[in-house]
Amino acid sequence: MCENSHLDRIETSIIIPVLNEEKNIDRLLETIHHQTYSQDNYEIIFVDGGSKDKTIECIQKHNEFSNIRVVDNTKKTAQHAMNIGIDCAQGKYIIRLDAHSFYCENYFEELVNTLKNKREVGNVGGVWFVEGDNTVGKAYAKVLSTFFGVGSSDFRISNEEKYVNTVPFGAFRKDEIVKIGKFDSRLERNEDFELNLRYIQNGYKVLLKPNLVIRYKCRNTIPAIIKHEISDGIWNSISLKLCPYTFSLSHFIPMFFVIGLIGVVLSFILNIHLFKIIGLGAILLYLLLDVVFSIKNMKSNFKEGLLTLLLYPLHHISYGIGELMGLFK
């Protein structure tokens, strides 16, 4: 599966799971090419899940890199891709990248230096800055960048360097991730969160460095957003069943919100006055928060901010429905 060339100087292995990423490869490799970290120090391992587009051709045309490899991932999913990449890696340090995200110029250098200088840190990553390509995508990006939209997700909203419970992607030492068991192959989502919790359980720290910016391309259509949120919600519940230590009450607020909406409807059908009052009060409070945060969003772009009035509840309800569905899978 892995054809290891003779790369004695390799300090770091960059692992990138890919599946039909033709549209993103050029920009991704451009951001890698402009890294301050010397190319002599790293290899790039693309782990391909059977792309049907021109992903492989796009990778192969970039001859400005001397240390690129492509290996196959017959099981297609990201967690399997990462484990295959880790097994193939020749570097002491591993940096996980996402193919439709883009990275600041000092990203590699800062991650590696942190791992060299802070032995207590098991995983280190940056802040996830979400971008959209059209009005819907840009409005959705605003939803994913506010406390009302995503709660206390430090890696989305924090500007403070601190220890956290998870970071997106990140960097870690190869020997340590092998020791704690690599990525859980059962999880199609939440694999990063679960891995970081195992780091913490094993006595390591997870460090967020807000000066390291990751730009992520989000979904740009309503159907794609709904599909993605439902799928994320399903896997949040499945992750809880497979790995109970991943439970966080805040992650299930959308599900409780959906249950509350169902309860309000039933209270009117069954004519239960107390539940009507409580339920309507909760809905009015939610709508008030929706309006307040959307007005804030309108200050930077009125049309996008107005659209967040719809996207906040769409985001929460779709995710909550997914969590309910996941409980029965």
pLDDT digits (tens, 9 = 90+) for 4-17: 554 567 899 999 99
SS3 (DSSP) at 163: strand
Q: How confident is the model at residue 1 (pLDDT cuts 50, 70, 90)?
A: low
What is the DSSP secondary structure assignment for residue 35, as one 8-state letter?
Answer: -
Task: Please report, in angstroms and rounded to a whole number, the separation of the first and last CA atoms in the chain.
Answer: 33
- Residue that has been written with the tokens 């970071």 in this structure: 167
Is residue 166 scored above 60 in pLDDT? yes
Rounded distance, CA 56 to CA 7, Å? 22
For the chain, the structural domain boundaries read: 12-220, 240-327
| Mean pLDDT, residues 204-227 taken together | 93
pTM value?
A: 0.86
Within 13 Å, how many C-alpha atoms sit on residue 187's CB side? Answer: 26
pLDDT digits (tens, 9 = 90+) for 271-310: 888 888 888 888 889 999 999 999 999 999 999 999 999 9
Q: How confident is the model at residue 321 (pLDDT cuts 50, 70, 90)?
A: very high
Task: Give the strand pairing for 68-72 and 42-48.
Answer: parallel
Rounded distance, CA 35 to CA 258, Å? 44
Between 3.30.300.30, 3.90.550.10, 3.30.428.10, 3.40.50.1820, what CATH number should domain 12-220 receive?
Answer: 3.90.550.10
Rounded distance, CA 124 to CA 163, Å? 9
Positive or negative: CA dihedral 35, 36, 38, 42: negative
